[in-house]
A and B are shown apart, each in its own frame.
Chain A
Amino acid sequence: MALDTNTQTRIDLIAVADLVQEGSRVLDVGCGEGELLELLRDKRQVDGRGVELSQAGVNACVARGLSVVQGDADRDLGDYPDDSFDYVILSQTIQATRNPREVLGQMKRIGRRVVVSFPNFCHWKIRLQLLLSGRMPVTRTLADEWYDTPNIHLCTVRDFLDLCETEHLAIEKTLMLAGEKSWTEHNPGARANLRAEQAVFLLYRK
């Protein structure tokens, strides 16, 4: 059932929140200022925790009454016990980690389910920009110039599917987002890789 939320909430956050069971335990890695955690707490009655790199983000979260610690996805996930969460979420963060594969490995150890959302670098607008302008694309989901961007490990839907295979992660559900539209892809192929601006994966250990 889709969440009944106001239109101010980012579509990708709603898509992620829709994948989470009510009342579950959730760790949001790279939780920013806590938008998703707050949404999960208020609409899904989730027992949520967060990790956030920026101290300003952490302070904002705690001031909102969320349980968040300052930490680095690349370094600080090792502390969490095995299977300590129902879901570990990496929302729009994987592309900014130094070692996405290790982060994913930690997440599947900590959580029974893993949710990853990221901007798809193969969206047709990005392909077109590269082709026509010969410059690094700047879009709604990738808003920074190449020299400013925190995104050091961008990938495509197809790339991510390969990584899931390597990391022995099975796909339970896949959501594709473009503009204000979202749809489920049971077997994302070349067409999805072209159409999706963002992708959300619900994964579990094989």
Chain B
Amino acid sequence: MSAATGAHTGTAPPDPRLEAPEARLETVTFGPDKPLRLDSGENLSPVTLAYNTYGELNADKSNAVLICHALTMDQHVANAHPQTGKPGWWLRMVGPGRTIDTDRFFVICPNVIGGCQGSSGPTETNPATGKPYGLDFPVITIADMVRAQAMLLDHLGIETLFCAIGGSMGGMQVLEWASAYPERVFSAIPMATAARHSAQNIAFHEVGRQAIMADPDWHGGTYLDHGTRPTKGLAVARMAAHITYLSETALFRKFDRNLQDRDTLTYDFGAPDFQIESYLRHQGMTFVDRFDANSYLYITRAMDYFDLAAVHGGVLANAFKGTKTRFCVVSFTSDWHYPTAYNKQIVHALIAAGANVSFVEIETDKGHDAFLLDEPVMDDTLAGFIASAARQRGLT
């Protein structure tokens, strides 16, 4: 193994200086009286959300920070993962005295619906059949995920979030939150994201889905009934996607054409010749331990369907008309998955809507995953934005 990258990769070495804040692992289920109305027209009921919280909610419930996770992450943002034992995926950002300070804020991180860490999704039991949903789980959208999170906030008695923050698909949820519930979001930090999924992004997702569905162990989505798991297909999906999280510069810097544990080429297809092959295989193998193939299908679908302008008459600015939310949009120079141009489209729309918006582009060669990694300029700007928003919110 070569040098590790980010938490997207699941290989970040734990920093011993970063202690995990105390986490509460919670679950809430909304019964038949509270179905979730989906964009597809179907109702989902019952709806379960698994979520973690950190820090304390203040008396007037004004210090809640919602962290929205990306495609392959989950609610374990700052605590060790119960399955893998690995540290939280944003531990460097979330904790006492850190940028999202658990001494000041009440931090909520829910697993998205469609996910596989306890929230309603294809691995959960379908009450109609008593078996796992599989492909009987309804297709969900980013707006559906957010609607479910709004139900969670109602359940917690939180009217307004101090901040909604997230990168990648988490950023899409943040945009959806600010658009659908403008009064409930005081400040919003969409990072490394897009207001619409591009053809290139859909293309990479389709490669992943086809890899999963081509695995004979997938069994048309009913693999749990067959006692199998399409791990080969899911691993290939992960390998393809993982390339999009990095940058060519980072690949060159870390791997170049270096050989893996050998001095000469093998002239074979078995063991990996190159370090990059070994690295990707490792990423694929470790991913299948903690992620479900059908969840991967559902969540990538939700991302592909995301087009915030389309549901607002084709004009993105209309999604934010009259908003009072303070925005800080963050992009990364070497992110070709959700490049600066996509993030700037959001900024242009926010400006046109007369919104209060800041936009920073962070210089880095770490690609899309940079939002998860050690980027001091990102830390400084986020800290400045959050401190200023907290002053305006009257949080001390």
Chain A residues near B (Cβ < 8 Å):
49, 55, 58-59, 61-71, 76, 79-81, 84
Q: Closest B residue to A41 by CB, please name it.
A: B388
Are A69 and B388 closer than 8 Å at their CB atoms? Answer: no
A interface: dominant SS: mixed
Are A63 and B383 closer than 8 Å at their CB atoms? Answer: yes
Known: A67-B326, A81-B352, A81-B354. A55 touches B360 (CB 8 A): yes
CB distance from A35 to the nearest CB of B (A): 15
Are B356 and A49 closer than 8 Å at their CB atoms? Answer: yes
Q: Closest A residue to B390 by CB, please name it.
A: A65
Are A69 and B347 closer than 8 Å at their CB atoms? Answer: yes
Most buried by A among B326, B362, B385, B391: B385
The 4 residue pairs across chains A and B that have the minimum distance between CB atoms: A65-B388, A63-B384, A69-B359, A79-B351
Chain A residues closer than 8 Å to B215, beta-carbon distance: none
Count class of interface residues, chain B = 20 to 34
Are B381 and A69 closer than 8 Å at their CB atoms? Answer: no
B361 close to A (CB within 8 Å): yes
Query: How far apart are the CA atoms of A176 and B98 in the complex, in Å?
Result: 47
Interface string of B354-374 (1 = CB under 8 A from A): 101111111100000000000
Known: A70-B359, A70-B360, A79-B348. A59 touches B381 (CB 8 A): yes
CB distance from B375 to the nearest CB of A (A): 11
Known: A58-B360, A59-B380, A79-B348. A65 touches B354 (CB 8 A): no
CB distance from A157 to the nearest CB of B (A): 32
Partner among A65, A66, A70, A81 whose Cβ is within 8 Å of the Cβ of B361: A70
Chain A residues closer than 8 Å to B361, beta-carbon distance: 55, 58, 70
CB distance from B2 to the nearest CB of A (A): 30
Known: A55-B363, A67-B326. A62 touches B358 (CB 8 A): yes
Are B354 and A84 closer than 8 Å at their CB atoms? Answer: yes
Are B360 and A67 closer than 8 Å at their CB atoms? Answer: no
Query: How far apart are the CA atoms of A58 and B347 in the complex, in Å?
Result: 14
Are A65 and B360 closer than 8 Å at their CB atoms? Answer: no
CB distance from A163 to the nearest CB of B (A): 26
B377 close to A (CB within 8 Å): yes
B156 close to A (CB within 8 Å): no
Query: How far apart are the CA atoms of A73 and B374 in the complex, in Å?
Result: 32
Partner among B351, B362, B391 whose Cβ is within 8 Å of the Cβ of A65: B391
B328 close to A (CB within 8 Å): yes
Query: How far apart are the CA atoms of A62 and B329 in the complex, in Å?
Result: 11
Query: How far apart are the CA atoms of A161 and B315 in the complex, in Å?
Result: 39
Chain B residues closer than 8 Å to A68, beta-carbon distance: 358-359
Q: Closest A residue to B384 by CB, please name it.
A: A63
